[in-house]
Structure 1
Amino acid sequence: NPLRSIQNKPGEWKQRNSMNEAGTKRRQTITHAAGKPRNSNAPRASYAPNPRNSLAPNVSSRASLAANSSRASLSMRRQSSIGGRFQAKGNDARKQSEANIRKIIEFLSSRNYPSHVSFKLLAQPTVKDFHDITIFLIREIDAGYEWKAAPEEEIPKFFRQIHCPFTLNKSSLRSVGSIATWPTVLQALGWLVDLLNYNLAEQDSRFQSDDDLHQKLFFDFLSVTYQQFLQGENSYDALEAELSEFFQERNSKVSESIADISSENEAMLAEIQKLKEESKKIPTMKKKLTDLTCDCRKFQTMVSEWERHETQIRERNTALSEKLADANEQLETVQKEQQFVLAKLDKQEMKSEDVQRLYSDRSGLQQELQLVMKHHQSLQVQSVELEQQLQSAFDNVQPLLHQYNETATEMKLIPSTAKYAEGYSFEIDLRPRNLHDDSYTIEIKKDIKLNIMKLRETFKLKLVEQDEKRIQLQHLLEQETEKLQDKQEEGVESQRQLEEALRQSEAQKKHVMEEYQEYQGRVNQLREQTKRLAESSQSDLADAIQAHQTIEK
């Protein structure tokens, strides 16, 4: 077989074809995970079709393969999406920090970092550890980077040069391990590691394109045909047929791949259209869900009130049953005593002493009855007084309850469907008819105060979160203030340079004016000399003319 690139390296072509088929299967799995199953045995093309019409090498593509590992090439990628600014909060921010730490540890381990690096060390590093890690990463980008000042000044300068999206300044690097500073610095280091990994991946995959394959085939084909030409061959039909067969096989695989991808696209478009149609129902469903949620909360409140009322009735029924049982026992005891007394009276004979004793007993009972009546009257008087005191207390409490309900309404705690009520009714409704209702109870300490304390803890947590946000904003304000100071210092320096330039220009202007005046004086002197010379020459000429005339005469 004259095509050495196909004959001598069959394993390489098989390996590349198997890698592309594995990538195709992964795309099939991702695309059809939520849709219809597809035929996984369908052949896929190893390479994308090449639109070139000839086998001539692409000079521009080979020129683009030159390696460029300078820091300037890294700084031109500042528009990429690697290491974009995250506004993650809470758990997302913590997960992002942990991911950045793992990423930095993996990169340092793979690049043979000389010191030991652990998760605990990067969770709250010292200034020295941060300097060592950052200097190591900078040397990975530019081994000949010149350190003209302290790391606190050079590191922010370097990050600005490579257009890092995260702002670092000298003041933040002095306390790099603080809670307010380290997350931003950690994101900047993660962005730098992503940039290095991207650069390494780009260099590794730079010579694995289809252009390399086509160029190698072209040069091998050219070499074999030229050898045959030197041997006297004028026809290369076998080589062209073999090369055409190779490209036809690749083109057929590419066509099958295109067909599969087209079917996948159609299925995805159908699914997208179906999802769009279903998304139109979302506002109606959300509104219905809101209504059902409100109704559910109302029913839950009603059920809890009825359950509480049922519990109170059962407790009252139990108490009354116990009282009834006690009264029945007392009634049985009295009936037994009555029967015993009646039986005793029937058996004994009445005597005058018994009659006297009965009279004395009746008088004693009458006296006890009078005492009981007096006690009953005193109890009635006390009841009236207690009723008046209760009414007075009710009158005093009613304004306070009214103020409490108004305040709770303003704080969005009333009614139970309010913003901060969370389904619980904080309202206290005390009316005159409830004063004589034994079943009416208000558990202020147990229910209302407990829920208010929970609400207070919730507001405390929100206050802590707002304080953290305020600290972050204050830190950003300090950074912006420092930037403003830097700009002001640059403006002052520019003003000073401008004033110096103005002074120099004034001095030059003064010097030029002095030279001009000096030249002007010289010109005036020359003009006077010229005038005198002209006058003297005219007088001499007149004398000469006169003398000439005299001689002629």
Structure 2
Amino acid sequence: MPTVKDFQTIFRFLYAQLDGRYVYKGKFEDDALAILRGIHYPYVGNISKSHIYSAGSMATWPGLLAMLLWLVELIECVGLMNPSRDSSELKDSSQFVDRVFFDYLAMAYPVWLDSGEEPSDLEAILAQQFEQKNASLIQESSDIERRLANAKAELSALQSNESPLVQLERERVELITDKEKFETYIQRLESMQQRMADHVGNQRQQQDAAQVEQMGLERERSEVQAIVDAQQINPEDVDRMNSERNQLHDTLRGVQDRVKDVVKVVWDREMKLQRVLDDVESLAQDYASRAHKLGLVGSRKNEHIEIDIELTIDTHTDDRHRITSVDLRRDVRPALTRALDAFASELHATQSAVLEARESMDQLTESRIELEERVEDMDKAARRHNQHYLDLRDSIVAETRAATKQIEQLEADITAMRRDIAQGELQSKAALAHADAEWESVQRGCRLRRAEIDEDVVSVLEDVVQMKTHAEARLRELLQLATADASA
């Protein structure tokens, strides 16, 4: 709910969209009611000065808000009836010429009725509008030519460089290869993890067995110690047993050292064997990857190479002849030799195709150069046509000026014809006297009648055009009669 000042500001702003030159002379309430009556607001009787005094109250604000909404809709309607005459908004309109000439006639006709002369400043405005239109067309043509040059440069750059699709396809193949390598490496790590887990399990089992054996030895030692404690021995037996024990300790240490050396040798041999097996698996995976890429195995098998040897490695077998699924010297080497010969023949065929493609590319380059020359010739022809258009436009303007002079002569004849209808003029004077008596009432409703006056102006213009056409026809008939009389 706005204040009274806010309501006045809103109302002034909205009515300024309809009549920006209106001056508020008296109180705002009186002027607002007079404006609403002048524009024929249908519910002006429901609005009083007290309502405007208390614009923000709950009782009066809904009615005033509806009145403001009606004003907004009226402004939108007037905006649709009287669109902007800015030439920049009509630069892409096919009705630009008709609109400009209509505006020119609408402004020139009242001036001509008052003075009887053609206003020169309106002709300057008309010429300026056409010059602005021409400048915008020239600017648009320059922009199109610049975009065409940029497009040609971009096309040349795309044709000179490698296709982005080929680059992306190559990158995709490389990424797929890297993915396959990583998957193979992950599988190797998983297999190594499984082997290490099995080895750790075996070590734990051996440790558990050693602990069980140690506990049994501890029990046996306790039993032997109990037996020894129960026996009665002499010092000579003790010395003899100590010497035997020392000998046994020395022998045990020697055996333990030899066991450690054997375990170390076995561990070194197992590590060397594991490294060899890893290298063999890596070579087998490399072979499988390259054979798959070359189409020797798998779903992508090359139809020109009759080879299908898929190599698998079994590192858990005890027979060295069964580590590989096929014999490398007897089966794989001859097959790879045949594949090498087949790929060599394909390489020669591919090189021949590349030479043919280069020849075709040279022919296409020559064709492109010819097409560019044709495009350049067409650009020159377009410039010639543009110059011819400018010349035609100048000639049309000159003819228009000549036609304007002829129209002025015809309008002078129409003025002479008006002097012949004196009785009509007397009636018009009587009507004018009657109109003077009603001047005050017409002045109050002038804003309401503005739209009707516009329609009357359009109809009068149509009548004038019809009258001009009729006068031209009569003048032609008079000219024909005069020619016929002269020839007779």
Same fold (TM over 0.5): no
Largest Rg, 1 or 2: 2
